[in-house]
């Protein structure tokens, strides 16, 4: 039996240089030092980068998904980076580390995690997506386009290895349940769910003909873990490409037409997600636009060959221009919907604290009749 390799992407915000804009080199160096010392013993290879104020650790190994040793290593790297962030007095130092101690794996402790295990093909191209200032449902639409939309992925029509379709694993992030739906047969049911980006998020996609893993996204929502607003979720995702999966160009096409995502300032707004080069992954305007970068690797016996900075391509300039135009329109709405998220999506933000201050000032409609005017004036609820 052929040996499998595991690709793990673990990320967290442990401090930003000047607000929520950038994880500086000092933090990346601290994390990289920990991973470097684990080569050969735990890891085969690694690549450390950042998207905005998030540290993204891309690691390969042969220990499988949810492995305690690998997750402990990532946790230690983030702790070391946090110590540097505190020394530099960076903003939000350690904000995504929701526990003082490690307990088995990073899930539920704050960091985001996307992992997949598979046997390497003769050529194994993978695309790692890293985001900032948005949440996991930002991948709902791109994953639909990649694996279910023949107008985006022509291989669904032309490539016999893909015509049997793909299976989606969808999470109900509030009920903590999951459902599997097949495309194309259950396409309308699939869209009915993943079109609701408040409640549902695509976790994994499998090739139906052999149940081979095709894509995975981190699904951890920090507000659901901590019970209050502690930062944006900033998802990461892994997508396998070519030879039975969408071609690299089809994988990227899901971001060629910017779509609106939740996130931005305080995680309280809708705005476009903008595909950017690695060096441009630094949201600034109103904590946005939300950014996504795409790093292409070839796996060779677990070694990460690359990356190829795929969104650096000039062909995505139009997408960036469109995202900026969309941002102008949405920002003009200020605190009004649809720029502002609905109250149901801000349950764990700071908004409930504002509403709590006004709670006793809400008046039943019948109290506003003429006979109550004097009483209301005495209570100070009317001028």
Q: Tell me if 223 sits within 8 A of 351, measured CB to CB.
A: no
20 by Cβ neighbours in 10 Å (0-12 / 13-18 / 19+) ranks as buried
Instruction: Report the greatest alpha carbon distance in the chain.
Output: 84
C-alpha to C-alpha distance for 70 and 64, rounded to whole angstroms:
9
Residue 20 among known ligand-binding residues: yes
What DSSP designation does 108 have?
A: T
Tokens representing 320 are 């960036």
Q: Which of 279, 4, 266, 254 lies closest to 117 in space, CA to CA?
A: 4
Residue 232 among known ligand-binding residues: yes
Residue 381 among known ligand-binding residues: no
Residue 314 among known ligand-binding residues: no
Residue 95 among known ligand-binding residues: yes
What would the DSSP string read from start to end of 220-249?
--HHHHHSS-------EEEEE-SSSS--HH
Alpha carbons within 13 A on the beta-carbon side of 29: 5
Cα→Cα distances 149→95, 155, 373, Å: 38, 10, 60
The sign of the torsion formed by the CA atoms of 203, 227, 327, 321 equals negative
Residue 158 among known ligand-binding residues: no
Residue 66 among known ligand-binding residues: no
Residue 259 among known ligand-binding residues: no
51 Cβ contact list (under 8 Å, min separation 6): 11, 130, 131, 132, 234, 281, 291, 292, 293
Residue 243 among known ligand-binding residues: yes
Q: Tell me if 32 sits within 8 A of 45, measured CB to CB.
A: no
Residue 133 among known ligand-binding residues: yes
Residue 266 among known ligand-binding residues: yes
The Cβ of residue 40 has, within 10 Å, a number of other Cβ atoms equal to 7
What DSSP designation does 340 have?
A: B
Q: Which of 274, 257, 261, 296 lies closest to 151 in space, CA to CA?
A: 257
Residue 132 among known ligand-binding residues: yes
Please identify every residue annotated as catalytic: 13, 229, 232
Residue 53 among known ligand-binding residues: yes
Residue 149 among known ligand-binding residues: no
Q: Helix, strand, coil % (nearest 5) of the chain?
A: 30, 30, 40
Residue 104 among known ligand-binding residues: yes
Residue 33 among known ligand-binding residues: no
Which residues are documented as binding site for Mg(2+)?
13, 20, 53-54, 95, 132, 232-234
Which residues are documented as binding site for dihydroxyacetone phosphate?
20, 133, 266, 287
Which residues are documented as binding site?
13, 20, 53-54, 91, 95, 104-105, 132-133, 232-234, 242-243, 266, 287, 348
Which residues are documented as binding site for beta-D-fructose 1,6-bisphosphate?
20, 91, 104-105, 133, 242-243, 266, 287, 348
């Amino acid at each position: 039996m052929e040996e499998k390799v595991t690709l793990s992407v673990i990320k967290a915000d442990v401090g930003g240089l000047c607000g929520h804009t950038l994880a500086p080199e000092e933090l990346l160096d601290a994390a990289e030092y920990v991973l470097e010392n684990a080569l050969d013993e735990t890891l085969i290879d690694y690549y450390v980068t950042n998207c905005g104020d998030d540290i993204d650790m891309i690691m390969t190994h042969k220990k499988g998904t949810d492995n305690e040793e690998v997750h402990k290593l990532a946790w230690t790297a983030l702790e070391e980076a946090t110590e540097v962030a505190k020394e530099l007095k960076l903003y939000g130092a350690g904000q995504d580390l929701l526990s003082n101690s490690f307990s088995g794996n990073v899930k539920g402790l704050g960091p985001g995690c996307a992992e997949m295990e598979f046997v390497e093909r003769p050529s194994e191209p993978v695309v790692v997506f890293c985001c900032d200032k948005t949440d996991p449902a930002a991948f709902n639409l791109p994953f639909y386009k990649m694996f279910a939309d023949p107008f985006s992925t022509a291989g669904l029509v032309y490539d016999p290895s893909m015509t049997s379709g793909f299976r989606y694993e969808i999470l109900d992030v509030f009920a903590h349940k999951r459902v599997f739906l097949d495309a194309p047969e259950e396409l309308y049911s699939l869209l009915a769910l993943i079109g609701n980006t408040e409640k549902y998020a695509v976790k994994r996609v499998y090739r139906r003909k052999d149940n081979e893993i095709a894509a995975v996204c981190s699904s951890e929502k920090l507000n659901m873990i901590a019970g209050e607003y502690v930062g944006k979720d900033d998802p990461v995702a892994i997508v396998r490409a070519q030879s039975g999966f969408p071609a690299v160009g089809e994988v990227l096409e899901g971001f060629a037409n910017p779509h609106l995502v939740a996130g931005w300032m305080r995680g309280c707004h809708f705005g476009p997600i903008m595909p950017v080069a690695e060096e441009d992954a630094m949201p600034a305007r109103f904590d946005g636009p939300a950014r996504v970068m795409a790093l292409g690797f070839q796996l060779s016996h677990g070694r990460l060959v690359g990356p190829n900075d795929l969104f650096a391509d000039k062909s995505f300039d139009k997408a960036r221009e469109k995202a900026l135009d969309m941002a102008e329109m949405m920002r003009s709405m200020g605190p009004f919907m649809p720029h502002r998220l609905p109250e149901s999506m801000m349950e764990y933000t700071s908004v409930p604290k504002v509403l709590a201050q006004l709670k006793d000032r809400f008046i039943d409609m019948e109290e506003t009749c003429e006979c109550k005017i004097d009483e209301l004036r005495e209570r100070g609820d009317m001028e």
